[in-house]
Amino acid sequence: MKIKINWGTGIVIAMALFMIFILQFVFRAAVNKKYDYQLVADDYYKEELNYQKEIDKENKANALKQNVKLIKTDKGLEIVFPSEFEFSKLKGTINLMRPSNSKLDLKKNLILTSNTYLITDKELVAGNYNIKIDWSYHDDLYLYKSSYAY
Q: What is the pLDDT of residues 4-13, one digit of tens each?
A: 889 999 999 9
Q: Is the dihedral of CA 109, 149, 41, 101 positive or negative?
A: negative
Kind plus residue range of the DSSP H or E element containing 26 = helix 7-31
pLDDT at residue 95, rounded to an integer: 92
Q: Is the dihedral of CA 38, 41, 46, 48 positive or negative?
A: negative
- What's the Cα-to-Cα distance from 10 to each of 3, 5, 23, 82, rounded to whole Å? 12, 7, 20, 72
Evaluate if residue 33 carries a pLDDT over 80: no
Mean pLDDT of 113-120: 89
pLDDT at residue 132, rounded to an integer: 93
Residue from 135, 131, 134, 124 nearest 145 by CA: 131
Share of the chain above pLDDT 90, in %: 30
- What's the Cα-to-Cα distance from 97 to each of 21, 127, 138, rounded to whole Å? 36, 11, 27
Evaluate if residue 37 carries a pLDDT over 70: no
pLDDT at residue 52, rounded to an integer: 84
pLDDT at residue 35, rounded to an integer: 67
Name the residue with higher pLDDT: 73 or 150: 73
pLDDT at residue 39, rounded to an integer: 60
